[in-house]
Structure 1
């Protein structure tokens, strides 16, 4: 039996290692990115490149996408050269981005009208976890489509959890992101408390990671926090986008999120200080900045990235 032909849209920091994992697993992969140079590493590894999402949809069995925001998802699906234009009454689209449930539902309806099954499969994890296929994925949409692509998802993620038929996966991903952002602010409050009492920063971080409140997130960020080395794995600009999506869902559902709302104000303060390029771990130094015990110049990198 021939393997599924895979299309991939969005060959950036997360999409690139996932494409490489599929190629290593023996899947034929065709890629598209608006910035064609992004595709070069996967083309060198054996992928083909196409000129548009429309052409991609017509040439493969399953299209995956890793897109930055709502506008990007709408564009790759519904533009003149989008997936809908190349749909021939069959196929599966698996979007692994973090986008709003509203836009996702709009895309789902449009694809269904052309006979395309649509899976929402946002992933949780870092670029390094993407490279080692250790991401987690929460998937919603048609169950038969999930069953069909699960072997492919298993090449990309360590866990694939089916959670419902509609936008459940979108809400779960936003919930997890909320907790990541809040927990980063929480560790900052703990560090500020200990620092005022004279504790060593590295000692505090090690103590946290050896305690009942330890988490994979804290352990992943330990060295960044110790060194205040905030080169971006998850930039504040991206965090703001995700947090705003979650707060919009909360408003629509009359859900009170007081801590998340406070974290959003912390992020706004960091944006006003030209810190959007820093990693989300920099949230841990908000209180130190507010009290005058730290400044953006104390962080590395100290100047915006490209």
Structure 2
């Protein structure tokens, strides 16, 4: 039985750990707050106090954390995964972080004798629960091969993009399009709402038209109920777009649409919707239009 660790038990990390348990892996888990691990430990996972300790116990290790600072803390920080040598360990970070942070982790992994795979995911928590995530991988091919069975348990397709941090760029490019699509959908919904169109009818049309996509269809389901429970928070999407814009400035890419989308989502955070799903952009457009219809619909 392959021993695998999952460090970072937010919404996505917890789902991954659950699916790995169900697939028969010997799963070790860790998190800043132990309470997040109670359900998983009750289901048969093992608790570990730190990244360094979990690295001693497993053959494969996954991290799923919020941002650059969190990644560097669990890898290169005191008691981090890469704070000392763990020869033979194969490590995949599945977070959405900057290439700069990822490069720092790559240097530390090399010093620690650890093979390091970048493997951010495409898909919501609902998609993760179904084991249907897309996995964007870059790094050593042999490290990807070691994760074959684990990735089969949590995803439906793996895209191998190269030897370095290509997966990081691809994930940010994906999130740019995801954010722009949902912000545009939100703006269109409020136009129709102000002009007297039926909310559900609009969603039905968008979901079965030239603009339909899995994303639009998925968001239409929650928007039909005005349900903004976070599959991916507004503040996290704003963070990802900030990272993408920084790369654009460095590479000379012109990104006005992304810049505007980020400012709109930042405004939504400022209005109190940072911890809600980023489709709460529709609430901001309603507010700007002078509507207070959310509780009446």
TM range (shorter): over 0.9
Q: CA deviation at 1:289?
A: 2.3
Q: Paired residue for 1:250, among 248, 260, 270?
A: 248
1:8 — aligned with what?
Answer: 6
Give the match's secondary structure for 2:212: coil
When structure 1 is superposed on structure 2, of 277-286 and 140-149 the one drifting more is 277-286
Local SS of the residue matching 1:227: coil
Q: What SS is found at the alignment partner of 1:119?
A: strand
Q: Aligned in 2, Cα 1:287/1:154: closer, same or farther, shift over 3 Å? A: same
* Aligned residue-pair number: 296
Moved beyond 6 Å, runs of 4+? none
Post-superposition Cα deviations, 1:27-64, rounded to whole Å, max 9, x if no partner, equal 11111111011111111111111111111111111111
2:289 to 291, 296, 300: 291
Unaligned runs of 5+ in 2: none
Alpha-carbon distance change, 116 to 226 in structure 1, aligned in 2, over 3 angstroms = same
Q: Give the corresponding residue for 1:65.
A: 63
Alpha-carbon distance between aligned partners in 2 of 1:286 and 1:21, rounded to the nearest angstrom: 36
Corresponding residue for 2:257?
Answer: 259
How far apart are residue 294 of structure 1 and its match? 4.0
Q: Which residue does the alignment assign to 1:224?
A: 222
How much does 1:186 deviate?
Answer: 1.2
Q: Name 2:197's counterpart in structure 1.
A: 199
Q: Deviations over 1:2-51 (max 9, x none)?
A: x3211110122111121111111111111111101111111111111111
SS of the equivalent of 1:221 reads helix
Please give the alpha-carbon distance, in whole angstroms, between the structure 2 residues aligned to 1:132 and 1:188. 26
Q: CA deviation at 1:218?
A: 1.1
Corresponding residue for residue 239 of structure 2: 241
> Structure 1 stretches of 5 or more lacking a match?
301-306
* Number of the residue aligned with 1:271: 269
Q: Which residue of 2 aligns with 1:126?
A: 124
**Contact 1:229 1:299 survives alignment (8 Å):** no
Corresponding position of 2:22 = 24
CA contact (8 A) 1:202 1:226 kept: yes
The structural deviation recorded for 1:170 is 0.6
When normalised by structure 2's length, the TM-score is 0.95
Q: Where does residue 141 of structure 2 map in the other structure? A: 143
Q: Work out whether residues 134 and 157 of structure 1, in 8 Å CA contact, stay in contact via their aligned partners in 2.
A: yes
TM-score of the aligned structures, taking structure 1 as reference length:
0.92
Deviates more, 1:59-68 or 1:183-192: 183-192
Q: Deviations over 1:93-136 (max 9, x none)?
A: 10000111110011011111221110000011111221221111
Q: Are 2:83 and 2:112, in contact at CA under 8 Å, matched by a contact in 1? A: no
Cα 1:85–1:288 shift into 2, 3 Å: closer
The answer to which of 124-133 and 220-229 deviates more is: 220-229
Q: How does 1:24-103 map to 2 (within 5 A)?
A: 24-103=22-101
Q: Give, in whole Å, the separation in 2 of the partners of 1:120 and 1:68.
A: 15
Tell me the secondary structure at the aligned position of residue 82 of structure 2: helix
CA contact (8 A) 2:265 2:278 kept: no
